[in-house]
Structure 1
Amino acid sequence: MNPFVHKSLVVQLQANGTERFPVLAHLSYDADDPFAVTAVFSHDGRVLARWKLDREMLGDGLEGPVGIGDVRFRPVSSGPWEELCMEFYGNAHPDGGRHHAAVFVWAPAVAAFLRQTHDVVAPGEEELGVDDFLAEVIAGG
């Protein structure tokens, strides 16, 4: 089985109170980093941001609000359209405010992507390989 899952989606970005505009989101999963999903947001061939997201938290965000730090997820419903709102907070400004961006993505697409990752590494079956890493460090030092 392929240890990688990748999905590209058109999403809506809303930054610092602007109107939403479309950007590409590239979601990827690698079984070697089983707890993480990498999200790369791009527009006109330029990478706008790259985030490592917690796979379980991403799934939980489809059901209800999660996160209290720099990354937060929550479901948003606008009639028949079900979205996941992914909020990202940056460093503080001198005035006390923070950069803030929200990405709105079609929730069923995220759910389908997560199901594919679960086919690669089922929830609860993740392994870190810490023992192998420590053995390498000890053997080399």
Structure 2
Amino acid sequence: MSTVIEQAVQVRLVAPAPRMDTVPATLRYDLDDPFAVRMAFPAPATLEGVEAVWAFSRELLADGVDEPAGVGDVRVRPFGYDRTVVELHAPEGVAVLHVRTTVLREFLSRTRHLVPAGDEHRFLDLEHDLRELLRDAC
């Protein structure tokens, strides 16, 4: 069984101009970090010309498809019929993205088949993480 789930998505970047640009992105869930979801944007889709990856909690994404969630760098909220808004706040500005809610729900369902919600802690290797933290301490 694979320990990584990836799903390509098309997101609409909301900009001050009247049109909305479609941007490719990849949602990623990795068993090695069971609490997190990553949204990656390829280099051509970013202002800096390098891949950008945002990490945030799976719970935030799950909550945000049904009701506004998040108060920090990543905020998620439902918007109209079958759209979810993902806001990415950075020092350079805010990216407002529209993602199809059905795509997000499908992705979340796949992640829950790998790691049920509430069982994330069972997939952590705390002994390994502690060894990594302490290996340079001596």
TM-score scaled by structure 2?
Answer: 0.84
Q: Which residue of 2 aligns with 1:72?
A: 75
1:55 to 55, 58, 63: 58
In structure 2, the CA distance between the partners of 1:86 and 1:139, relative to structure 1 (3 Å rule), is closer
Unaligned runs of 5+ in 1: 92-97
Number of aligned residue pairs: 131
Separation in 1, partners of 2:133, 2:21: 47
Q: Which residue of 2 aligns with 1:100?
A: 94
Fraction of identical pairs, as percent:
34
Are the aligned partners of 1:12 and 1:23 in contact in 2 as well (CA < 8 Å)? yes
Per-residue deviation, 1:50: 1.4
Please tell me the residue identity of whatever aligns with 2:11. Answer: V
In structure 2, the CA distance between the partners of 1:59 and 1:106, relative to structure 1 (3 Å rule), is same
2:82 aligned counterpart, secondary structure: strand
**Larger helix proportion of the pair:** 2
In structure 2, the CA distance between the partners of 1:48 and 1:136, relative to structure 1 (3 Å rule), is closer
Unaligned runs of 5+ in 2: none
| TM-align CA RMSD | 2.1
Per-residue deviation, 1:136: 4.9
**Larger strand proportion of the pair:** 1
Separation in 1, partners of 2:109, 2:60: 14
- Which segments of structure 1 move beyond 4 Å, counting only runs of 4 or more? 43-48, 136-140
1:69 aligned counterpart, secondary structure: coil
